[in-house]
Amino acid sequence: MNTREVQEALDRIGWPIDVDGAWGGQTYQAVWDFQRGFAFSNLQIDGHAGPKTHEALRLALEEEGRCSPHFAFREFKSKGNGWIKVNRELVRGLEEYREDLAGGKGVGIVSGYRDPRRNAQVGGARNSQHLYGNAADLEPLHSVAALRRLRRFSGIGYNRASGKVPHVDVRHTGPNTTNSSIASPMTWPYPR
């Protein structure tokens, strides 16, 4: 793939990038974020579009923009600037959540990545895991205990009234300012 073809693929998958044939910072960042979120395999995350990244871009296009069997990159885009950031470990955890807790049924992503401006608009934490593409807000279906048993998430936010979980994250992949792990996830109630 040449630079324009890489840009066209990323644009079709959902990144709001210029398709101009020039390899600049925007294209580099989009490739880096694509590599980080592609959960079908462990691509090297370096922002360079080598043969394995080309192959992954083609597969994502064939799979209608998916980053995993059941989740599309677009589901994680910021509702502010439209950029996509997602951590493949988050996506893999959501795949297990879908299979083990939702009985193979769809899991609704309410919010994924938040660009800094969007995060401020919604009152997100100053160092929110959403800023790094490490978090997803979900339709709350299950309890904290059920999410802990999955051993995939190191941050779990639950609704104080219902006990159901609307937020999961993989802060253990970094940055991890709370020293949380999948064995001992940070948990907190909403509203705080």
Give pLDDT tens digits for 22-47: 999 999 999 999 999 999 999 999 99
Domains of the chain (ranges, CATH numbers):
1-66 (1.10.101), 74-187 (3.30.1380.10)
Q: SS3 for 47-105, per residue?
A: CCCCHHHHHHHHHHHHCCCECCCCCEHHHHECCCCCCECCCHHHHHHHHHHHHHHCCCC
Q: What is the pLDDT of residues 94-144, one digit of tens each?
A: 999 988 876 767 788 999 999 999 999 999 999 999 999 999 999 888 899
Please report the pLDDT score of residue 176 as a whole number.
95
AA letter at 54: H
C-alpha to C-alpha distance for 32 and 172, rounded to whole angstroms: 20
C-alpha to C-alpha distance for 192 and 180, rounded to whole angstroms: 19
User: In a 3-state reduction of DSSP, which class is residue 175?
Assistant: coil
Contact 113, 77 (CB under 8 A): yes
Q: What is the pLDDT of residues 173-186, one digit of tens each?
A: 999 999 999 999 99
Please report the pLDDT score of residue 192 as a whole number.
65
pTM for the model: 0.95
Instruction: Compute the average pLDDT of residues 55-71.
Output: 97
Percentage of residues in the chain with pLDDT exceeding 90? 91
Contact 104, 132 (CB under 8 A): no
Mean pLDDT score across all residues of the chain: 95
